[in-house]
Structure formats: structure tokens, C-alpha cells
Structure 1
Amino acid sequence: MSIPKGIALITGSAQGIGRGIALRLARDGFDVALNDLPNKDAKLDLVATEIKSLGRRVCVIPADVRVDREVKEMVDNAVTKLGGLDVMVANAGVLTFASLLSTTVETWDRIFSVNARGTFLCYKYAAMQMIEQGRGGRIIGASSLGGKIGFPYNSSYGASKFAIRGLTQVAALELGQHGITVNAYAPGGIETPMAESMMDESGNVDLAKIFDDPVSRKWVVALLENVPIKHAGQPEDIASIVSYLASKEAHFITGQCISVDGGISMN
């Protein structure tokens, strides 16, 4: 087994984008700590088997990113099992569609507890470990197209993803002195298990499943019609930008939220 490029921890890595990121970083030469909820152990084990086949060390660390103690223990366990932490990818997230008027406080708090608080805790404990190690590091979070453009029926999710952009900028300002870069990625439409709930039987986005009113559906249709790249994205498309942000070559990039959405959001 070759000397690892570093040690990476990816949350929400049982499936979808997180799985794609974990496999890509393993191919890049990183040893990998996989995280997701305890009820996804079987899927995590499958990803771990794939990573072992690539000749890299891997460990599975179930934890709930909403819980302060569990996130700290997750980082500590990754360090104990693999020998350190060089890349933290705070990828775990949840999505719920509801109009502003029908969104409950409970829904709002649930979305924020995973997407915003979970990312904050991952940033915090990863940064503490990286500072202690004294060799810098890469912290990478999951924002969204919905964290750059307001979408109807998307208030709690969109607000949580906008929050990640602000958190990323603040963390970049504070941690740069320690050689730690902090960036985020903002996916557009990516074919993942999370997206399946929005599809019809033919595999196309069924807007009627999401938006109750025709005005919202018309707005989204008009937006999607103007996308320069017409096909849906794949988890590998997100993994490729994470691969670069995790590399030594990205040492002069920090505080950014990079869109990977086929050109919907241009800035």
C-alpha cells in the first residue's frame, strides 16, 4: 500500500454525492473515514469495500452530525483509526420542499440542525484537530444552487445553504493563518437518491410533485430552459471539484462557494 496523500473524512457518504466524493478521494490517494447515520451501516460497508479494493485504508464511523458530542467523537475516531485528519468534507444534508406559509417551526429546525448546525460542528472539530496537528488542511462544505438563488417552496433548505456560505467565509478568514483553506461547493440538479423523490416514472423532474401552484412551476421551468448545459449532473461532477479543493494545488483558494450546476448560477 502506497503512502497516503492524506486522510479525509466525508459525512453523508453512504450514497449519492458523499459516496462519489469518498471514492474519488480514495482514487486520488487519500485514506478515507466514512460517515453517515447508524441506520446506513450496510451502505457504508459497501462503500468501504470499494475503497479497500482501491488499495486505501478506510474506516466507518456512524454518527449524527446534529449532535455536538457525536461529531467530536467522529473526528477523534477518524484520527485514532487512520492517524490524523487533512480533509473534512461536511457533505451531509437533508431537503424538504414546502411553501413558506406551510413550513412549520419543526421542519425549519430539522433542516437547520442537519445542514447548518451539522456543518458548523464539522468545521469546528476538524479545525481544532488540524490546528493541533500543525500541518494545515482543507475544510469543504456542501452549499447548493439553492444557497445562491432563492427558489419557491425552498425557504428552510435555501436559508440553511445560504448560511453555509456565510459560515465558510468566516471560517476561511479565521483559519487561513493556520494554513487551512475553507471552501464550499454548490451543486445544481444532480442525479442522486435524494433527487428520486422529485422524478416521475420516466426519470424526469415532476414539478407537480414539488410545487402546488402554477406560478412557481412556471418560474422554475423558465429558469431550467435557460441552462447552458442541458443534461443532469452526476455525483462524480461534484467529486471532481472536491478533489481539486482537497489538493495541494488549491492552496491559494479559500472562502469560495463554487457552483457546479451546468451554468444556472453565474458569478
Structure 2
Amino acid sequence: MSASPAAAPPAPARRVAIVTGAAGDLGRAIALKLAADGLDICLTDLPPQLPKADALAAQLREKHGARCHVVGGDVSQAGDVQRIVDECVAELGGLDVMVANAGVFRPRPLLELTVDEWDTTQTNNARSCLLCYQAAAKQMIAQGRGGRIIGGCSVAGLTGAALCGAYCASKFAIRGLTMCAALEWAPHGITVNAYAPGFIEGTKMSAQGAAMMGITAEQWKAAATGLFPMKRLGKPEEIAGIVSYFASDAAGWTTGESGRASTRAGGRTEQCAGKVFAVDGGMHIS
């Protein structure tokens, strides 16, 4: 672990992004989109997930000509996060975009929630996001060319949900952290934003939601899609498009406070001011 951020290297020919939780469906979609946008990618996940990350790296190289580096680590641990950033800089030449995508979802009624379960959710969601934000910002400030920091929030960071007290608290924390970081690091040319999806296809949420309710995953999906005006779950590629925007030059004036479009069940749509860019797929948000 380095004692301080690496000295400012010459800017690489292509911008460089770190994507945490890269082996999951959403992380994979984000990495594919950023590589298609012309970025080189550092993929990171827990060590048991590295074979999936290696396969993704091969796909990014072949399909998009991206330079890739794969590194294992636990982003809830400060030493691991710093090592990931250091390896990214050493192998790819710098850091321009941090996507703090990794997180966990473990529903539990509040009266059954243990302190250990609470701590696990906060550690893997809120603390990991803080550590990624800090390490990325230190490196970006040292480089002196600004950057983009993007956090994985959730519709659960905008409104409460029964059986999701720990998860909602962790995502509200990420939302608040994002607002504060945006204000603190704006003088350095760093924007900080978050994406806040609802139910997304291909993630573990269907199985977890079904288990929580004592029904099959197919029954859960049928019930969930009925809530949404588009009558389907969101797609990882649609969330990746939001990340792509936040990482782009077009988002240079968007930090911490971006437009939020809340689509309510029944087809009612309203525009309102918010602090995260929320694609909620028709979830009820007030």
C-alpha cells in the first residue's frame, strides 16, 4: 500500500476507469459500455469472482481494443482499495473515472435484523463507497486533470422500503456522501454523481426477493413487472448508459445535483429536483 497517491503521470492516450463489482451483471454492463466509449478499464471484484473478470477483460480487449487490468480485492477494506488504485495507475497510466458499483442486498425485517447484519450491509455498501471515493479523489487531485467519481446508489436511497431497513440506510448514506463529495472536490475539477436503479434484470435481487416472500423467482418477477409502466424490469445496459453519461465530457457541469425523473406506477411522470440521477423503473418515490 502506498503512503500517498502516485505522482502525476502523463495523461494516457485513453482515459482510464475502475469498475468495482465488475464480475456481476451490472458491473459487466458498465465495463462494456465504458470500453465502447473508448476507456481503458481496471476490473476489480472479490478473488473468487476473478475468473469472470478475466473473461470480461478478454472480451473488452477483443471487442473494443481496450487495455485492461484485473485485480482482486475487498473494497470494504482501505488497504485493498488503495492497492487497486495503485495497480490501476501503474498498469494503465492513471485514473480518470471511478465507478463504485460493488454492494450487497440482504433483506430482513427490522425486528429480526441483527447488529452484525446491519454492520455487514453498511460495510459493504456505504463504507466501500467512501473508501473508493477517497482513494480515487486523492489520485485525481494528484494528477491535476480532474475526474469523474460515480457511486452505486439505488431507488432505496431515495425512499424507504419494508424489509430493507439496512439496505435503505446504506444507500441513503451513499446519496448523502455523493452530495458532500461533489461540493468538496469541485474545485479540483472532479464531478461526483450516483446512479439509482430499481429492479434490474439478471441481478440477484429476483432470487432474494422471492426467497424473502416465500415465492418462486418467476412469481416475484411477474409481480414486480406489474408495478412498472413499461411492464418489465430494467436492463443492466440501461443503467450503464447513465454511468456513461456521468463519465462523459457532456456531464462536466453535472455534479451531486442532477435531474431526477421519477416514473410512478400507473404511468404518472413528474420532474423534480434531486441529488442523484434516478432510473427507478416505476417504483413509488415521493
Aligned to 1:245: 246
Query: Which residue of the partner structure matches residue 260 of structure 1?
Result: 279
How far 1:224 sits from its partner (Å)?
A: 6.7
2:212 aligns with: 210
SS at match of 2:45: coil
SS of aligned partner of 1:61: strand
Q: Which has the higher contact order (CA 8 A, sep 6+)?
A: 1
Q: Output the CA distance in 2 between the equivalents of 1:189 and 1:63.
A: 26
Aligned residue pair count: 248
3-state DSSP of counterpart to 2:18: strand
Uncovered stretches (5+) of structure 2, i.e. residues with no partner: 1-11, 215-222, 257-274
Deviation readout 1:230-266 (Å, 9 max, x if unpaired): 2111110110000010001100100031111223256
Quote the Cα distance in structure 2 between the aligned partners of 1:163 and 1:10.
Answer: 20
- TM-score, reference length from structure 1: 0.89
1:84 aligns with 2:94: yes
Q: Could you tell me which residue of structure 2 aligns to residue 26 of structure 1? A: 35
Structure 1 counterpart of 2:22, from 8, 13, 28: 13
Q: Which 4+ residue blocks in structure 1 deviate beyond 6 angstroms?
A: none
What is the rounded CA distance, in whole Å, between the counterparts of 1:105 and 1:97 in structure 2? 14
1:105 is aligned to 2:115: yes
Give the deviation of 1:41 after TM superposition. 1.1
Superposed displacement of residue 60, structure 1: 0.1
Residue 159 of structure 1 corresponds to which residue in structure 2?
A: 169
Q: Distance in 1 between matches of 2:118 and 2:185?
A: 29
Which residue of structure 2 aligns with residue 195 of structure 1?
A: 205
Correspondence list, 1:93-132, <5 A: 93-132=103-142
In structure 1, list runs of 5 or more residues that go unmatched: 199-204, 213-220
Residues 4 and 236 from structure 1, CA distance in 2 versus in 1: closer, same or farther, beyond 3 angstroms?
farther
One-letter amino acid matched to 2:48: N
Residue 49 of structure 1 pairs with residue 51 of structure 2: no
Contact 2:159 2:285 (C-alpha < 8 Å) held by counterparts: no
Query: 1:148 touches 1:265 (CA, 8 Å); kept in 2?
Result: no
Pair 190,144 (structure 1): closer, same or farther in 2 beyond 3 Å = same
Q: Kindly provide the CA deviation profile for residues 20-67 of structure 1, in whole angstroms up to 9, marking residues without a partner as x.
A: 000100000000000000111111111111111121100001110111
The aligned amino acid for 1:12 is G
8 Å CA contact 2:105–2:205 kept in 1: the answer is no
Distance 1:34 1:62 in 2: 8
**What SS does the corresponding residue of 2:134 show, helix, strand or coil?**
helix
Secondary structure of the residue aligned to 2:195 is strand
What is the match of residue 215 of structure 1? none
Percent identity over paired residues: 48
SS of residue matched to 1:13: coil
Q: Which moved more, 1:141-150 or 1:84-93?
A: 141-150
Aligned AA (1:257): V
Local SS of the residue matching 2:72: coil
Provide the rounded CA distance (Å) in 2 between the counterparts of 1:153 and 1:39: 29
Moved more, 189-198 or 170-179: 189-198
Cα shift at 1:5: 3.8
* Contact persistence 1:185–1:260 (CA under 8 A): yes
* Deviation of the 1:4 alpha carbon: 4.6
Q: Are 2:235 and 1:234 equivalent residues in the alignment? A: yes
TM-score by length of 2: 0.83
Q: Structure 1 counterpart of 2:185, which letter? A: L
Structure 2 CA distance for aligned equivalents of residues 261 and 50 of structure 1: 29
Whole-Å separation in 1 of the counterparts to 2:281 and 2:206:
19
Q: Contact between 1:52 and 1:58, CA under 8 Å: does it hold in 2?
A: yes
